[in-house]
Amino acid sequence: MTPPASNPNLFAALRAAFPQDLDSVAVETAGGGAEPLHYTWRDLDRATAMMANLLASLKLPKGARVAVQVEKSVEAMVLYLATLRAGYVFLPLNTAYQSAEIEYFVGNAEPAVMVCTRANFGWISKIAFKAGTRHVFTLDDDRTGSLLERAAHCSDRHEVAPVAADDLAAILYTSGTTGRSKGAMLTHDNLLSNARMLKDYWGWRPGDVLIHALPIFHVHGLFVALHGALLNGSRMIWLGKFDPKLVVQKMPEATVFMGVPTLYVRMLAEPGLTREAVRNMRLFLAGSAPLLIETFNEWKDRTGHTIVERYGMSETAMLTSNPYAADARYGGQDERRGGTVGFPLPGVQLRVQGDDGTPLAVGEIGNIQVAGPNVFKGYWRMPEKTREEFTADGFFKTGDVGKIDGRGYVTIVGRSKDLIISGGYNVYPAEIEGYINELPGVAESALVGVPHPDFGEVGVAVVIPKPGATLEADAIIATLKSRLANFKIPKRCFVVNELPRNTMGKVQKNLLRDQHKGLFAGK
Ligand code: MLC
Ligand code: AMP
């Protein structure tokens, strides 16, 4: 591996990995009912240069944030790369977020630039201008919008902006267990060190082709998948939206696939998923949520491939992975074990501690804490929250609960943070309960996660009316839909008279989870 020349800008390293033949295909689009488009490496180089020149022409201050809420497209990926190239900070936003959510992120991050779809320009520009954002551009997934129009007038030559290794490359908002979302600040070095290590660990090799079917506003699609392919100079088959049939159809042309467990569950429902279809595949990776052992086994039976499950977070990028190849440390005997997330990755320190901070013995269950070059710089403008989430000796408290066995395999058994992971998206009960509690006639509420065959886990709301008030579950859901991102909407809502509480008065969510755990069984 060659270290970057002198500029630790992540883009410089990605650009250095472009293949010699710049006219070979870097990205091929698929799906959406449109003819496939082909982008060469030269196209990516020129397009990122033009967009970086556009950003540079705005004379933004150092550390300026570029907030982006657009549909997935190659141009959206170019915008990410151009932001790095120009030395600014990328702030991706889930396309499902609605106005209250956007208002918070924009108010908190104070981006200098906002990029949104044309359809949302009216309300988003209002929010952005109010927050002091000077530049609002549009970008749609059909290669139109003011961003591209403006970039078209810019030079296609651009010197990668110099940055320091610990300058910010991106801010990713992760919802908070209490209160508002926190922006995880990730540096160029956080992302590049993780990407370089994964390139080796997962054995990326010449000729690899990645099917990219994940959204590009989270760690998994934006960093793990995209950096993996780019750092290996690998072609990507680029889907704007996950479509299980299309992915299976495209598999013979590919070697690597990455997905959240829901994607694997949906592909298993495709009759076309056969050993023949996966004959050229080298590696299937899963993460962002627990992969059920049933899915792991069924995938093995159907395809002959053992999924490599790995574990990570917005704050840390990737932390552990099942082995790709047998590890000499363990006599070359390791296997990819379903139900575990594998070993701490090279350079990552991972330990399990009791609630009182004592180290736990092999096999004992406790709080997972991590350290390493991949661990973020802190939460945006939340120094106190940042301090709280680190131990005195510098380990980050993941909020995940797990154990490490004698061989070093890490298993996640639960979370100390009150969080529901639904189809790979995080839903924080405290946030949803806050919205429900503000509705007229609501005394209080509790949101719990219950098993779901497609999304793994989904939220169910239990709502208590104020004395004398009448509440309709359907009306509560309808109101939430008008205010919150769709994946945060409880799949069911129950209006009841009281919540179960322990002697301290704390709501016993475990009892509610138990009561509703069969709601979606067999659906
Ligand atoms: C969609 N819906 C969901 C949902 N996604 N509900 C719960 N959980 C989800 N994840 C709902 C919508 O609200 C809608 O409901 C209905 O499902 C159909 O919406 P859709 O947009 O058509 O859904 P679909 O395109 O099928 O999306 C499903 C999905 C998507 C699984 C493809 O959720 C997805 O791409 N998930 C991946 C998320 C991801 O990349 N996570 C990585 C985080 S990084 P209604 O009622 O309106 O019809 C991270 C770190 C790490 O965690 O370790 O990687
Ligand atoms: P996010 O904040 O969206 O980055 O989500 C990170 C969280 O996803 C982690 O703290 C874990 O709780 C969870 N997660 C990621 N990968 C896995 C996995 N393979 N198994 C179980 N949980 C996971």
Whether residue 39 is found in the same domain as residue 86: yes
Is the residue at 40 inside a domain? yes
Whether residue 106 is found in the same domain as residue 234: yes
pLDDT one-digit tens code per residue, 99-135: 999 999 999 999 999 999 999 999 999 999 999 999 9
| Domain end point (choices 207, 241, 275) | 241
Is the residue at 449 inside a domain? yes
Looking at residue 327, its pLDDT comes to 63
Query: Using an 8 Å Cβ cutoff, are 167 and 155 in contact?
Result: no
Whether residue 451 is found in the same domain as residue 370: no
Whether residue 97 is found in the same domain as residue 29: yes
Mean pLDDT, residues 268-282 taken together: 97
pLDDT one-digit tens code per residue, 57-96: 999 999 999 999 999 999 999 999 999 999 999 999 999 9
Residues with CB under 6 A from ligand 2: 174, 219, 287-290, 309, 311-314, 341, 398-400, 412, 415, 421, 426
Ligand nearest to the CA of 485: 1
Res. 316: pLDDT tops 80: yes
pLDDT bracket for residue 226 (50, 70, 90): very high
358: domain CATH number is: 2.30.38.10
Confirm or reject: Cβ of 423 under 6 Å from ligand 1.
yes
Q: What is the DSSP pairing of strand 182-187 with strand 378-379?
A: antiparallel
Confirm or reject: Cβ of 83 under 6 Å from ligand 1.
no
| 180 vs 361: which has the higher pLDDT | 361
pLDDT one-digit tens code per residue, 344-380: 999 999 999 999 999 999 999 999 999 999 999 999 9
pLDDT bracket for residue 33 (50, 70, 90): confident
Which helix or strand (DSSP H or E) is residue 101 part of?
helix 99-109
Is the residue at 198 inside a domain? yes
Q: What is the C-alpha to C-alpha distance for residues 101 and 92, in angstroms, rounded to an integer?
A: 13
Whether residue 459 is found in the same domain as residue 364: no
For ligand 2, the distance from its centroid to the CA atom of residue 289, given in whole angstroms, is: 5
pLDDT one-digit tens code per residue, 249-266: 999 999 999 999 999 999
For residue 251, give both structure tokens.
């598999």
pLDDT one-digit tens code per residue, 406-431: 999 999 999 998 999 999 999 999 99
Res. 330: pLDDT tops 80: no
Q: What is the C-alpha to C-alpha distance for residues 263 and 281, in angstroms, rounded to an integer?
A: 16
The CA distances from residue 289 to 258, 339, 408, 478, 489, in Å, are: 13, 11, 20, 27, 18
Alpha-carbon Rg for the chain in angstroms: 23
Cβ-based neighbours of 138, under 8 Å, separated by 6 or more: 115, 116, 117, 118, 121, 145, 146, 147
90 DSSP β-pair partners: 66, 170
Whether residue 350 is found in the same domain as residue 221: no
Looking at residue 332, its pLDDT comes to 64
Query: Using an 8 Å Cβ cutoff, are 425 and 481 in contact?
Result: no
Is the residue at 370 inside a domain? yes
pLDDT bracket for residue 178 (50, 70, 90): low
Out of 211, 266, 455, mutate this one to test ligand 1's pocket (max ligand atoms within 8 Å of CB): namely 455
Whether residue 33 is found in the same domain as residue 142: yes
Out of 486, 488, 491, 493, mutate this one to test ligand 1's pocket (max ligand atoms within 8 Å of CB): namely 486
What's the total number of domains in the chain?
3
| Domain end point (choices 222, 241, 260) | 241
- AA identity, residue 31: G
pLDDT one-digit tens code per residue, 196-212: 999 999 999 999 999 99
Res. 4: pLDDT tops 60: no
Mean pLDDT, residues 164-178 taken together: 88
453: domain CATH number is: 3.30.300.30
Rounded mean pLDDT of the chain? 95
Cβ-based neighbours of 92, under 8 Å, separated by 6 or more: 68, 69, 80, 170, 172, 216, 217, 218, 222
403 DSSP β-pair partners: 411
Whether residue 43 is found in the same domain as residue 152: yes
pTM, two decimals, is 0.96
Q: What is the C-alpha to C-alpha distance for residues 317 and 221, in angstroms, rounded to an integer?
A: 11
Q: Which residue has the tokens 């301290």?
A: 504
Query: Using an 8 Å Cβ cutoff, are 336 and 322 in contact?
Result: yes
For ligand 1, the distance from its centroid to the CA atom of residue 114, given in whole angstroms, is: 24
| Domain end point (choices 241, 270, 288) | 241
Whether residue 393 is found in the same domain as residue 509: no
Looking at residue 5, its pLDDT comes to 56
Is the residue at 376 inside a domain? yes
Ligand nearest to the CA of 265: 1
Q: What is the C-alpha to C-alpha distance for residues 317 and 298, in angstroms, rounded to an integer?
A: 28
Is the residue at 187 inside a domain? yes
Res. 1: pLDDT tops 60: no
Q: Whose CA is nearest to atom 15 of ligand 2?
A: 288
Res. 329: pLDDT tops 80: no
Whether residue 61 is found in the same domain as residue 133: yes
Looking at residue 176, its pLDDT comes to 62
For residue 276, give both structure tokens.
């023949």
Other C-beta atoms closer than 10 Å to the C-beta of 367 total: 21
Is the residue at 380 inside a domain? yes
Mean pLDDT, residues 440-455 taken together: 97
Whether residue 374 is found in the same domain as residue 473: no
Tell me the residue range of the domain where 402 lies. Answer: 340-415
What secondary structure letter does DSSP report for 439?
A: S
Q: Whose CA is nearest to atom 54 of ligand 1?
A: 288
Residue % of the chain over a pLDDT of 90: 93
What DSSP string runs through 306-331? --EEEEEETTTEEEEE--SS--GGGT
Is the residue at 264 inside a domain? no
pLDDT bracket for residue 3 (50, 70, 90): very low
196: domain CATH number is: 3.40.50.12780
Other C-beta atoms closer than 10 Å to the C-beta of 478 total: 11
Whether residue 218 is found in the same domain as residue 347: no
